[in-house]
Amino acid sequence: MHISLDEAMASGRGTERPFTCPSHDDVNPSASVNVVKGVWFCYVCFASGALKDHVPDIEEAIKVLRGDSRPRVYEESWLDLFDADHCSPYWVSRVGIEVASANRCGTTLTGEPTYPLRDSHGRLLGVVTRHEDKPKYRYPFNVSTSTTVYGRIKPSKVVVLVEGAGDEMALEQGLMPPSWTALGTYGAGLHYPQIEMVERCNPSVVLAAFDDDDAGTRARLLATALLPEHPVLSVPWRSFGGKDAAEVHVNDRVEALRTILLRHGYTREAAA
């Protein structure tokens, strides 16, 4: 089976990935590329080479992804440095194994839960780490949380604004209609660059599904003020059994949002 170097880099798993050696008539993949060191070696003809823009070592890559060092490249393969194929119990309990796996929510070498942070085009920006001893998220320093949202920007009939990546991923598990988009802010803050991302979706309606606390109330009012061209509906999670989205069962969250739309006169087609 022929496996090119590009195919090994794009679809392989692990640090060492086999591919077909380009230096001899290779019947089976005899070469291996190390995606961390950025070098490859053939175990048959002993040919070798280096990849462009590779990371010098694993410690450097982890520093970049955790925000301790300035990034140089944003390779998807860097997620292999974390145990992203065996999700942490924290993320599995929050969003379920399928969604956690699809989003490659893993752990650090010390077992702290992580999730990849991406831009609106799906490109890797780094890895967010959650410290379980004191609930706090650590973001890559090259990322401003006021100019980033978690989730894909796409044309949508309904945009749901929630607090954080966990709530956004949970809505994915709740099987949102394809014409909906969930965008997670980082905390209850809402800023102009994030509003611009909502507007790029050109929604018919925005659901402000922040937590039922003072910060969430301020965020809902701000969304209404900054999105005058779009109807903004508040989602009171307490009326669905919790003070925030995390306290409402995953399978009930989308139905709760649909109920809000129907209460405000939107048709079932619009809510579908």
> Are β-strands 39-42 and 31-34 bridged in parallel, bridged antiparallel, or unpaired?
antiparallel
Alpha-carbon distance of 237 to 234, in angstroms, equals 9
Q: What are phi and psi of 246, to 5 degrees?
A: -65, -20
Query: Of residues 224 and 270, which shows the higher confidence score?
Result: 224
pLDDT at 159 over 80: yes
Q: Which pair of tokens denotes residue 242?
A: 């919790």
Which of 6-10, 154-158, 218-222, 257-261 is predicted least confidently? Answer: 6-10
d(CA 111, CA 220): 35
Domains of the chain plus CATH, in order, are 5-50 (3.90.580.10), 58-138 (no CATH), 158-271 (3.40.1360.10)
pLDDT of residue 271: 63
**pLDDT class of 221 with cuts at 50, 70, 90:** confident
Cα separation of the two ends of the chain: 45
CA-derived radius of gyration, the chain: 22
List pLDDT tens digits, range 165-196. Answer: 888 888 887 778 888 999 998 876 788 888 88
More confident residue, 189 or 198: 198
How, if at all, do strands 31-34 and 16-19 pair? antiparallel
Contacts (Cβ under 8 Å, ≥6 apart) of 157: 179, 180, 203, 204, 205, 270
pLDDT interval class at 5 (50, 70, 90): confident
* pLDDT computed for residue 206 by the predictor: 93
Check whether 37 has a pLDDT greater than 80: no
Q: Between 241 and 162, where is the model more confident?
A: 162
Average pLDDT, the chain: 80
- Over 80: is that where the pLDDT of 11 sits? no
Mean pLDDT of 253-271: 84
- Reported as a pLDDT band with limits 50, 70 and 90, residue 161 is very high
pTM of the model: 0.69
Residue 167's Cβ-count burial label (10 Å; 0-12, 13-18, 19+) is buried
